[in-house]
Amino acid sequence: MFGVEIECDRSQGNVYYVKNPEVLDEQRLAKWLLRKYSIPQDFVTFNAMKDRIMLEEIPQGQAFLNPIIEAMQTNVELRIDYQRYEYEQEEHLQTFHIQPYALKVFNHRWYLLGYLKEQERLRTVALDRIIDLQVLTTTFTLPKNFDARKYYANVVGIFVNNDLPITKVKIRAYGVQVEYLRSTPLHKSQSEVRSKHGEFADFTYRLCVTPELVSQLLAMGEKVEVLEPEELREIINDSLKKSLERYEY
């Protein structure tokens, strides 16, 4: 499926290994699957230690993964009954037809990117909000110029608005958060422009300011300060003030 060649070295007692590991560097999906679903080779040992080895839970919404992937492989449309997070009443249940383009995981949730026929535009939907799904026989043609990575290239998360400009964002990280950002960049455009050993480091990005970016920055709390742009700094400031108001007596 991913071009990974697994071979067996019988001279070493049937040791299995990846013959072409360079493929894992080229294909992020294959590398992610290998890391996420690898478990110790000794299943007896693993079973004995199962209560002490905490594996990350598989993202929600996986019940519809197989039919969606099959629809993507054959380029057929889906009919989806969908309930947004804002509405739990039955009267707000939406039914629409979507051409499945790509799947993405973000914050332990599966998302489907596709062309929503009723709205005549691309849209990302959360799999865990799908109430029912039907694979149709209507086929579609995936646009030749479609590239899922390029579609999400300028955002953190899954929210894409083509009207949003690409903005230079500069943040200052303090203490151990510096090392966290160095090892796990907030966005692929991350660049470290200044640092003072043991105190702080400044990072810059080129991306769109979206709700997910704001959420990620707020999640870092006092360990991060937004320096630019001023509009984003004000958004973070307002959010923090509203949070503090909830704790005032």
The whole-number pLDDT of residue 43 equals: 56
Question: Domain locations in the chain?
Answer: 6-48, 62-151, 167-245
Instruction: Classify strands 130-139 and 191-196 as parallel, antiparallel or unpaired.
Output: unpaired
180 or 88, greater pLDDT: 180
Q: What tokens were used for 13? A: 């007692």
- Give residue 13's pLDDT: 80
| CATH code of the domain made up of 62-151 | 2.30.30
Pairing of strands 15-18, 76-82: unpaired
The fold for domain 167-245 equals Alpha-Beta Plaits (3.30.70)
For 35-86, the pLDDT digits (tens) are 555 555 555 665 666 677 666 666 667 888 889 999 999 999 999 999 887 6
